[in-house]
């Protein structure tokens, strides 16, 4: 954000030096302020209080549930799982949080394309990271950060063998994107399509028997 601020200040200094038309100067200044506010809004990381519960799988991100379906997960499990997909718009908080607590057993980055995040092939062809956390009750839960058409970089903090707390920061995706969560068949889904969820707070599935 510091670099962004410096660039915007430089643009306005140059504008005021070279342009004598007041309304153009004012328009550029106003646009710079609005743009910087949007950047601050996008990179915010509000503190969330997570109620730790090994039987609950919580939303890793803010956004809207766009898919709940049984799929074949071919990267890690190589079997059928229930997939819950959450789409984030550019105005959502884009911090990714661990949906369960436990030990990170898998963490891998995949370079790729930048198809729109809701594209059917985005989960296999877009830039993405796959992380698996093993919880003592829920078992291994996989979540996948998927870059969207505007997202150009995924940040992933998860390291294999690290012990992580449910709801703690696990990464960040810059601009519009999606996160898929894969849970075992038979898991009780606690959200519906088009439902809005809050990362680190909303319970999206329940593994209680």
Which member of 122, 123, 170, 177 is catalytic? 177
Cα distance between the two ends of the chain = 46
Which token pair is 182?
A: 């894969």
CA dihedral in degrees (60, 61, 65, 66; nearest 10)?
-100
Residue 158, classified by CB atoms within 10 Å of its CB into exposed (0-12), middle (13-18) or buried (19+), is: buried
Residue 170, classified by CB atoms within 10 Å of its CB into exposed (0-12), middle (13-18) or buried (19+), is: buried
Half-sphere exposure (Cβ direction) of 105: Cα atoms closer than 13 Å = 15
Sheet-wide strand order for 163-164? 163-164, 102-110, 128-135, 139-147, 177-183, 79-88, 63-73, 196-197
Residue 6 and residue 104: Cα distance in Å, rounded? 38
> Is 107 in the active site?
no
Half-sphere exposure (Cβ direction) of 144: Cα atoms closer than 13 Å = 23
- Which positions are annotated as active-site residues? 177
């Amino acid at each position: 954000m510091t670099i962004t601020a410096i660039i915007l200040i430089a643009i306005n200094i140059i504008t005021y030096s070279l342009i004598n038309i007041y309304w153009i100067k004012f328009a550029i200044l106003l646009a710079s302020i609005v743009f910087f506010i949007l950047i601050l809004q996008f990179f915010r990381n509000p503190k969330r209080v997570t109620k730790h519960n090994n039987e609950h799988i919580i939303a890793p991100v803010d956004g809207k549930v766009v898919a709940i379906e049984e799929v074949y997960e071919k990267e890690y499990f190589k079997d059928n799982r229930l997939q819950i997909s959450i789409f984030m718009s550019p105005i959502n908080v884009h911090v990714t949080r661990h949906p369960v607590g436990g030990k990170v057993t898998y963490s891998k980055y995949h370079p790729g394309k930048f198809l729109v995040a809701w594209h059917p092939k985005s989960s296999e062809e877009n830039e993405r990271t796959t992380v698996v956390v093993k919880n003592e009750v829920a078992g291994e839960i996989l979540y996948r950060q998927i870059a969207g058409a505007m997202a150009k970089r995924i940040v992933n903090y998860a390291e294999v063998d690290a012990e992580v707390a449910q709801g703690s920061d696990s990464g960040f995706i810059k601009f519009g994107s999606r996160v898929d969560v894969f849970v075992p068949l038979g898991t009780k889904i606690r959200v519906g399509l088009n439902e809005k969820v809050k990362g680190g707070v909303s319970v999206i599935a329940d593994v209680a028997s």
